[in-house]
Amino acid sequence: MQNTPVASLVGEEYEVEVGPVAHGGHCIARTEEGRVLFVRHALPGEKVVARVTEGEETSRFLRADAVTVLDASKDRVAAPCPFAGPGKCGGCDWQHAKPGAQRRLKGEVIAEQLQRLAGLTPEEAGWDGTVMPAEGDKLPPGEVPQWRTRVQYAIDAEGHAGLRKHRSHEVEVIDHCMIAAQGVSELGIEKRTWENMASVEAIAASGSGDRQVVLTPKPGGRLPLVELDKPVSVLRVDENDGGVHRVHGRAFVRERADERTYRVGNGGFWQVHPKAAQTLMLAVMQGLTPRKGDTALDLYCGVGLFAGALADRVGEKGAVLGIESGKRAVEDARHNLAAFPRVRIEQGKVESVLPRTGITEVDLIVLDPPRAGAGKQTVHHLASLGARRIAYVACDPAALARDISYFAERGYKVRTLRAFDVFPMTHHVECVAILEPVKKDA
């Protein structure tokens, strides 16, 4: 018996009324037959023609682009970037929305995720519902903040640099990225060809003048002679083990936060927006209010941003343990915090290392997990340590809301929540939630 092929709906067009924003940089709409569409390049309340980009007759939902706007929202602007729009670069989600509207949309997503996954209203989460712009990012419509200090360029078959299209390996060749920081743009990555390269990452440290490119060759590809418009260190990704190796120049860049310099090696993690590290560090410290002599954990600690801030504040009688899985990040964290004898950095996954430490109680916890969140097992372990306050830094509101619900199962509630728009023009947003134990009735 032959299976009947399922008909693709890609290319089909529907005239729809656009509904609310959803997590992921799109809005929800329904066809007259009741099909759910996730529509990019639209805004709530608009009437658009949506062209299907993914989906079949049997799909639970379809993905689509708004290719014609029949009735525009007052929040709509012409996308400043010529590479933004249906079928083009997938890097930005909200170029077509006013800056204030972008922040409102992100706030609506956070509120929806909190309600759906944690059962909390904004008021119950101690949040006023606003998403704060980063310092210097309040610009008029049509102007774009140059915030992205790290840009990963994909390289097409001809060696031209570009950015990937939405949910695609296809490369949109560009001559300039509007959200790239000036230090990245000055390198001129887009002006030259990159034969035998799969990708080129450009890094312009905001805490120093350090610039770096990280080259990922195609299998068997030879490294090009790198001559760019500004002095730059060059690293390469090994095609066999994925390790990052220095070709010439420094293997690290220097960043600044909390009046301290942090070494970040081999293209390792640091907040991409120039103001993000300082903004988030202050939000965490203000929420935790560390005291002299406190013991603290910094989980998923990277190169030690929060561990350093904690160490400063808990003093010589306090102690901080950081846990990080990346080998190079651990080396950097130990270097960055060498002046604090009461700071210890352990390498490994949090869920494996933390139980082995034998720690049974702690005063304060900071966790800044990857996009997937910390998960139930880790959250329940953290709740068992009896911390006075816990700061959860999250780049994904869905993962944050899920983990907040796990904390609630173990007697922790959200005291305050703050949200920061440190990824303008995209759907991403950073949140800092401060949790504390629920007071038991006497």
**Amino acid found at 222:** R
**Phi, psi torsion values for 92, nearest 5 degrees:** -110, 145
**Backbone torsion region of residue 20, taken as left when φ is above 0, otherwise alpha when ψ lies between -120 and 50, otherwise beta:** beta
Residues 376, 401 contacting (CB under 8 angstroms): no
Q: Identify the CA nearest to 170 among candidates 237, 90, 99, 105.
A: 90
**Amino acid found at 146:** Q
d(CA 239, CA 217): 7
Helix (H) or strand (E) holding 133: strand 131-133
d(CA 142, CA 79): 7
d(CA 382, CA 436): 12
167 is written with which tokens?
């949910």
Q: Identify the CA nearest to 157 among candidates 190, 201, 193.
A: 193
* 395 is annotated as an active-site residue: yes
Which residue do the tokens 């935790």 mark? Answer: 288
Q: For residue 102, what is the DSSP state?
A: H
226 is written with which tokens?
């790198």
d(CA 349, CA 306): 18
409 is written with which tokens?
């199962």
Residues 309, 315 contacting (CB under 8 angstroms): no
d(CA 142, CA 248): 39
d(CA 384, CA 378): 10
**Phi, psi torsion values for 116, nearest 5 degrees:** -75, -40
Residues 102, 79 contacting (CB under 8 angstroms): no
Name the catalytic one among 27, 89, 395, 431: 395
78 is written with which tokens?
């012409």
**Phi, psi torsion values for 106, nearest 5 degrees:** -65, -40
Q: For residue 321, what is the DSSP state?
A: E
Annotated catalytic sites, by residue? 395
